[in-house]
Structure 1
Amino acid sequence: MSVEGSMASEVTDDVPPPLELGRAAGAPLYAQIRDALRHQIDSHSLPPGAPLPTEEALQARYGVSRSVVRQALGDLADLGLIVRQRGRGSVVAPRPEHRRRADRAGGLRQQVEASGHHLRTEIVELAVDEAPSAAAAALGVTDTWRLERIRRVEDEPLVFMRTWLPRELFPHLSAEDLDGGSLHDWMRARGVEPQGGPRQLQAVPADEAVAAHLDLGVGVPVLLLQGVTRDEYGRGLEWFTAWHRPDTVFDVDAHVRPRSPGAGGGEELGRVRELVQELALLLGTQSPQA
């Protein structure tokens, strides 16, 4: 085994999984290393605060010069993904957590701005489209608008949303109507009052479209919030799927269910019956003059 191969085997545990650098693929070597490390950061394989492999370890692992490694790390630092410390190496930069209520319909802007950040909405696409089966079942129609938006916090993508709205309720809709604003506020301005509805939250891998919109690697786990919003009459106003970056924290205000009247009643009822029987025995043993 060569000295270089020996060094590579010693640092295997400290670096990302093996990467075949495509020297003839057109992408610069530093960019390929940068993207491999970025995928590790986005997928939380390298969580915030974790040290990156040393420059020497990366050189040995990828078989490149130190200048190539430094250029890759410099790009990651410029993107705000790592912090370089003289004499101490590089660590993954802390990412701010964005919190929202899982049991609250809408109100993302208020929740984000309450934490001192600014939320911006970008319209990706608005088109007339046939609702998928789940949306059609929730809305009761197949003739819908398909609205795709990215919600950004300080220009960083936070959530990618795909929403279906019934055209019979909202026959006139344009991207200009919603650009930068709240969909629910737009509904209220047209005399429709959103009330809420059931939601589901689960972790799913990001597909190519979601990964591109959220600036993540394909397959990175994201949080999918899915559900329907209805008005006070029970009409379906929107059916949506919203993919959140993995640094989103959903808060839930949980309550313990109060004991029902019958809960634990078996033991209490049995004790009451015993007391009644004891009382009947006592009364039966007493003389009429007592």
Structure 2
Amino acid sequence: MSLNPADTRPLYQQLASLLRDQIRTGELQPGARMPTEGELSQRLSTSRNTVRLAIDVLKKEGLVVSHQGRGSFVRTEPPLRYYASLTGSRSRRLEAQRRKDTFTQQVEAQGKQARQVSTVEVIAATAEIARHLSVGEGVSVAVRRRIMFADDQPLQLGDSYYPLHIVENSKIMDDADVVEGTDQVLEDLGHTPSWYEDEITWRMPTAEEATKLHLSTGIPVGRLVRTTLDQDNNPIEVYEVILPGDRHVLLYEVDAK
């Protein structure tokens, strides 16, 4: 491993690229201890500050984690597979017999323990939410806000918006966990989720999102906005989920018929 004097990139970016390649090819295995600043600076005849900046780049990309007093290590946790086409799956929900929602099923299937912390409030619909729910801007809607965990690591933020007349006095308006899932509650209320429309964008997190998700500087997030329609083609929920880029692989299964 050596730095290229003809490369116009700053030395720390060159070093970050070399180390990134070693991680992605498996030369540096998950869980492996990274060479120390002293080892790398001596091996490459560069400064410790250059090494430090390179390691910081990899930390921000989610490839490397540091433990005080122990050093830096290749991240061992693989990104969670987020099966967007199965989230809200009625067949999966019915198979669970009201004991688990689809988020819990996905997380547990990947060997982790799922948990959610929820709060509920009534707010005035923003222009975006009003458009998706086909209501007037400023109309009162219910919102259920969740911080979703896998093995106590904050994994996602999920905010669900509902027409107030549908969910008022239902379980959805309670902060307590809805074990069977909110889609099941909607079906119990006579509004079976029957069709989903997804919009996906990528951006940097807000300060609030970064705090709630414990995000390092430089980690982007995916924003998925799903509009749910019932059996009568009426919008019954808008679900906004924030997915940290270093913790998720977004997957869809698409029927080719």
Q: Do both share a fold (TM > 0.5)?
A: yes
Out of 51, 54, 59, the position equivalent to 2:36 is 54
Give the alignment of 1:61-80 within 5 angstroms: 61=49
SS in 2 for 1:197: strand
* Distance in 2, Cα, partners of 1:233 & 1:244: 30
Q: Normalising by structure 1, report the TM-score.
A: 0.58
- What letter corresponds to residue 109 of structure 1 in structure 2? T
Q: What corresponds to 1:148 in structure 2?
A: 145
Q: What corresponds to 1:205 in structure 2?
A: 204
SS in 2 for 1:237: strand
Structure 1 residue 51: deviation in Å? 6.7
Identity of aligned residues (%): 23
SS in 2 for 1:198: strand
Out of 163, 167, 179, the position equivalent to 1:170 is 167
- What letter corresponds to residue 164 of structure 2 in structure 1? R
* Per-residue deviation, residues 171-224 of structure 1 (Å, max 9, x unmatched): 225334446662223323433322231102222111111111111035521121
Which of the pair has more CA radius of gyration? 1
Q: What corresponds to 2:182 in structure 1?
A: 183
Q: Are positions 1:113 and 2:95 aligned together? A: no
Structure 1 residue 94: deviation in Å? 1.9
* Distance in 2, Cα, partners of 1:167 & 1:132: 14
- Give yes or no for contact 2:142–2:173 (8 Å, CA) kept in 1: no
Structure 1 residue 243: deviation in Å? 0.5
Where does structure 1 lack aligned partners over 5 or more consecutive residues? 1-8, 16-46, 63-79, 258-290
SS in 1 for 2:166: coil
Structure 1 residue 105: deviation in Å? 4.1
1:152 and 1:13, CA in 2 relative to 1: closer, same or farther beyond 3 A?
A: same
1:50 and 1:119, CA in 2 relative to 1: closer, same or farther beyond 3 A?
A: same
Give the alignment of 1:134-145 within 5 angstroms: 134-141=128-135, 142-145=139-142
Q: What corresponds to 1:102 in structure 2?
A: 84
Q: What corresponds to 2:239 in structure 1?
A: 240
Give the alignment of 1:74-93 within 5 angstroms: 81-82=65-66, 90-93=72-75
Query: Which deviates further from its counterpart, 153-162 or 140-149?
Result: 140-149
- Give yes or no for contact 2:144–2:173 (8 Å, CA) kept in 1: no
* Distance in 2, Cα, partners of 1:212 & 1:241: 18
1:227 and 1:12, CA in 2 relative to 1: closer, same or farther beyond 3 A?
A: closer
Higher relative contact order structure (alpha carbons within 8 Å, sequence separation ≥ 6):
2
1:239 and 1:83, CA in 2 relative to 1: closer, same or farther beyond 3 A?
A: same
SS in 2 for 1:194: coil
Q: What corresponds to 2:61 in structure 1?
A: none
Q: What corresponds to 2:249 in structure 1?
A: 249
Structure 1 residue 61: deviation in Å? 2.5
- Give yes or no for contact 1:207–1:218 (8 Å, CA) kept in 2: no
- What letter corresponds to residue 196 of structure 1 in structure 2? W
- Give yes or no for contact 1:119–1:152 (8 Å, CA) kept in 2: yes
Aligned residues: 203
SS in 1 for 2:168: coil
Structure 1 residue 151: deviation in Å? 1.0
Q: Are positions 1:159 and 2:156 aligned together? A: yes
- Give yes or no for contact 2:219–2:244 (8 Å, CA) kept in 1: no
Structure 1 residue 248: deviation in Å? 0.8
1:105 and 1:237, CA in 2 relative to 1: closer, same or farther beyond 3 A?
A: farther
Q: What corresponds to 1:130 in structure 2?
A: 124
- Give yes or no for contact 1:129–1:143 (8 Å, CA) kept in 2: yes
* Distance in 1, Cα, partners of 2:143 & 2:76: 35
Q: What corresponds to 1:37 in structure 2?
A: none
Structure 1 residue 52: deviation in Å? 4.7
1:11 and 1:139, CA in 2 relative to 1: closer, same or farther beyond 3 A?
A: closer
Give the root-mean-square deviation of aligned CA atoms.
3.8
- What letter corresponds to residue 253 of structure 2 in structure 1? D
1:116 and 1:60, CA in 2 relative to 1: closer, same or farther beyond 3 A?
A: closer
- Give yes or no for contact 2:167–2:173 (8 Å, CA) kept in 1: no
- Give yes or no for contact 2:120–2:175 (8 Å, CA) kept in 1: no
